[in-house]
Amino acid sequence: MINKLTKKILKSLADGQNVLITGPLHAGKTTLFNCVLTKLNNCTVIQTKKVDDVVMAYYNGQSAKIGYRTGQTMQSIDTGLDFLTMAAAEFIKGEQILLAIDEIGFLEARCDEYLNLIVQSAKQKSLIAVLRQDRHAFIERMAQLEPYVLIELTGEHKQI
């Protein structure tokens, strides 16, 4: 199933469509994203990962802490969100033609400037992004990404 979806995504990107991948936790979103990345060149990658109670962002060999858990709540860190904003702004100014983001979750969605730059990137160039399935501010902006293809995964897609 991953190979079929990878081909669909690559065709969509080649046709000038933005691609959004969403689904529940552990559905295989990042697995699919990484499979697609192995087939692409000329792209800028921004990744966020939760490690224990900390959320880290990675871009161009650099990293920043964007959030941390306190009890049941995730707290954002402004300097980390500034790091994401800087990465998206550099992409817009640069030569790369595709912005690849894994993932846009509720922490990232707290930063309007970052979300605005993602939308601008999608309009001016191309975007493939993994979206956390929860309701958050970026979901409301998806219509601004036209044309886009939405890939909704379930756990059955995880098998390669």
Contact (CB, 8 A) for 109 and 98: no
If one counts the domains in the chain, the total is 1
- CATH at residue 152: 3.40.50.300
Instruction: Specify if 56 maps to a domain.
Output: no
Does residue 103 lie in a domain region? yes
Angstrom distances, CA of residue 153 to CA of 49, 75, 136: 19, 28, 18
Does some domain include residue 23? yes
Within-domain flag for 30: yes
pLDDT the model gives residue 160: 43
Is 33 inside any structural domain? yes
* 16 Cβ neighbours under 8 A, 6+ residues apart: 126, 147
pTM, two decimals, is 0.90
Domain range for 14 is 2-48+97-158
Give the pLDDT confidence of 84-140 residue by residue, as tens digits. Answer: 999 999 999 999 999 999 999 889 988 999 999 999 999 999 999 999 877 666 777
Whether residue 132 is contained in a domain is answered as yes
Q: If DSSP codes are grouped into helix, strand and coil, which group holds residue 60?
A: coil
- Taking residue 16's Cβ as centre, other Cβ atoms within 10 Å add up to 8
Position with higher pLDDT, 1 vs 77: 77
Amino acid in position 96: Q
Q: Is residue 62 part of a domain?
A: no
The Cα diameter of the chain in Å comes to 45
14-42 tens-digit pLDDT: 999 999 999 888 899 999 999 999 999 88
Q: Is residue 69 part of a domain?
A: no
